[in-house]
Amino acid sequence: MCVRHLFAVLVVGLAAILGEASLAQDTKQVPTAGRTPVPLPAKGKGEQCVAPVEWMRRNHMTALEHQRDRTVREGIRTRQFSLKGCIECHAVPGANGRPVGVADARHFCRTCHDYAAVKLDCFECHASRPAEAAQRAGRIDVQKDVAELARYLEGLER
């Protein structure tokens, strides 16, 4: 192996190590017992989630879809798997103390969705911040939330 090739391998290896460290710091990810960083979403405000944490991590979309179908098709509204309830409990405050919207990388949903490269489209129709907090702040601007989501989605497609 020539010296130039060895140097290139060392530079790439060092960049990978530094990149992994900065990724763990920048996106709220922590290494597991292995070497793969995993997402570390903000904790909810309640004593416990509506279902066990590990179950929610694997099945939240199924629960939300089931809730959506019952609400839209049957008119049944419950709080257990309501997206509004998730947003109210898991809102992440920004620097100004107000909950961040989906365009902010700190948004609770984005923590895992960005990590898994899963498109997050709930907020094309739903508010990405708690309604009460937006009302206290003197505004509810669904159009702004939708515009923020559109910018976020455009960034994913690049």
Q: What is the pTM of this model?
A: 0.59
Distance, in Å, from the CA atom of 47 to the CA atom of 110, rounded to the nearest integer, reads 22
Average pLDDT over residues 132-156: 69
DSSP of 72-120, one letter per residue?
A: HHH----STT-HHHHHHHH--B-TTSSBP-TTSTTSHHHHHHHHHT---
Q: Are 153 and 119 in contact (CB under 8 A)?
A: yes
The structural domains of the chain, with segments of one domain joined by +, span: 48-81, 93-158
Average pLDDT over residues 135-158: 71
CB atoms < 10 A from the CB of 132, how many? 12
pLDDT value, residue 9: 56
CB-side neighbour CA atoms (13 Å) of 96: 7
pLDDT value, residue 21: 46
